[in-house]
Amino acid sequence: MPLFHALLNVCYALMQLFTGFIGLYQIILSLFGIWHRREPLRFEPAKRFCIMIPAHNEERVIGPLIDSLRAQAYPQDLYDIYVIADNCTDHTREVAERHGALVHVRQSDDKRGKGYAIEWMLERIWRSGQAYDAVVMFDADNLVAPDFLRVMNDKLCQGHRVIQGYLDVKNPFDTWVSVSMAIAYWYSNRMWQNARQNLGLSCSLGGTGLCIDMALLREMGWGATGLTEDLEFGVRCVERGILPIWAHDAKVYDEKPTTLLSSFRQRLRWMQGHFHCAQHHLVPLLRAGLRERNFAKLDAAIYLFQPMRFLILFLTSLMMVLQVSKPETTLVSHVTSLLPTDFWIAVNVFLYMQMPLALFLERVNWRAYFGLVLLPLFLWTWGPVVFQAYFTRANRRWAHTVHKRAIRLDQLRSR
């Protein structure tokens, strides 16, 4: 089987080059995430916000979110809270109204999902004649830090048009799955998002805690109705030369799944949407980046090329296992190593050591460090998630994530 072994060597060499490049790329860029200094607020409240909350059967969690928004350190006459009761069969509408939100009920059998709900609500607001400077989007299970709108006001007054807030976790210590996802988010916030902000690159949009200039929305339209509406809109912004920025000091707390199965389903939806978005935008972004010598567009294309930043860890650790083991009874024994084993060990050490470094820099609770023990197991579950997502990438059906933890903001502060 000489021909087969030759082809296997070529495939393995290409996989090594790709994985090695992505791993080194992330290590180098993450170094720029070490530094962060809180920026002082320079502008008085001036911008008027439309706060939009798509909600499908969220009666358990939406009350505390609205309360945290009504407690913002920002003039209440400069923002309105809209809840989209989207195909609800529970008491989401009544709970939201009781807590002081403006509720709009939406029913649709064919256009289901968060992206469609946002598009529907934007059209209603534009037809109403209400004047807003920006739209801020939250998920119904969120909690919002009191100074969130003040920070967004500052960024808008500085001329920024798309701003992503810091995505924190409100239930990190429920289970090993939730703490693993929390570590992933803390790492991403510091070593991915903050690093790109320091380098003047585009951050990736997280779907919640997102602020968009209203004039830009009117100009571009929403048009993001896939499974990852945030990624779609962010990529379209980068294509137009508008770089979404990262607001490290504007915190939003999100509920994470507590079981591996629910986490798998949520991540599968993310990856299906990611592959769909990459199919339409990766090549144009790559061409534009090379033609214009635009590093921000190239970086966005690289993000689309690798389905998820933590897939880097899965691939590099897999590569290391293949090179260290190489049992003589398997096909692995017939491949030729292009990069030495020491290289893969070093890459894995640097990538994994960034996790405790991120926890230290973000000053998270000491209990999070115990989650590092099981984190490699969780990261390896990205492998089957990504592979299944690739073969089911045509799926466009929205899968609702059930939220149960009605935690209040003052409970987070007391932990």
**Does 12 share its domain with 147?**
no
pLDDT of residue 329: 47
Q: Say if residues 331 and 8 touch (Cβ distance below 8 Å).
A: yes
- C-alpha closest to that of 238 among 194, 307, 180, 298: 298
**Does 168 share its domain with 236?**
yes
Instruction: For residue 213, give every residue at least 6 positions away whose Cβ sits within 8 Å of its Cβ, in sequence order, or none.
Output: 133, 134, 156, 161, 162
Task: Give the CATH number of the domain where residue 126 resides.
Answer: 3.90.550.10
φ, ψ for residue 134 (rounded to 5)? -155, 155
Q: What does each of the 415 residues of the chain score in pLDDT, given as a tens digit?
A: 577 767 767 776 777 777 778 778 888 999 999 999 998 999 999 999 999 999 999 999 999 999 999 999 999 999 999 999 999 999 999 999 999 999 999 998 788 778 889 999 999 999 998 899 999 999 999 999 999 999 999 999 999 999 999 999 999 999 999 999 999 999 999 999 999 999 999 998 888 999 999 999 999 888 765 556 778 888 889 999 999 999 999 999 999 999 999 999 888 888 888 887 888 888 899 899 999 999 999 998 888 876 555 566 566 666 666 666 655 444 445 555 666 777 777 877 888 889 999 999 999 999 999 999 999 889 888 878 887 887 777 766 655 566 666 677 766 754 4
Q: Is residue 40, in this structure, part of any structural domain at all? A: no
- List residues bridging with 80 in a β-sheet: 50
- C-alpha closest to that of 203 among 169, 226, 231: 231
Instruction: For residue 52, give every residue at least 6 positions away whose Cβ sits within 8 Å of its Cβ, in sequence order, or none.
Output: 82, 84, 118, 121, 122, 135, 136, 137, 138
**Does 292 share its domain with 379?**
yes
pLDDT of residue 401: 65
Beta strands 143-144 and 245-254: pairing type?
antiparallel
Q: Residues 264, 267, 269, 275: is their CA dihedral positive or negative?
A: negative
Can you tell me the distance from the alpha carbon of 156 to that of 362, in angstroms, rounded to the nearest whole number?
25
**Does 61 share its domain with 209?**
yes
**Does 322 share its domain with 365?**
yes
- Name the pTM for this structure: 0.86
Can you tell me the distance from the alpha carbon of 111 to that of 113, in angstroms, rounded to the nearest whole number?
7
Q: Is residue 415, in this structure, part of any structural domain at all? A: no
**Does 235 share its domain with 344?**
no
For the chain, how many structural domains are there in total? Answer: 2
pLDDT of residue 112: 78
**Does 56 share its domain with 30?**
no
Enter the DSSP assignment of 208: S
Q: What range defines the domain where residue 168 resides?
A: 49-178+200-257
Residue ranges of E strands in 190-257: 210-213, 245-254
Can you tell me the distance from the alpha carbon of 154 to that of 132, in angstroms, rounded to the nearest whole number?
16
**Does 103 share its domain with 54?**
yes
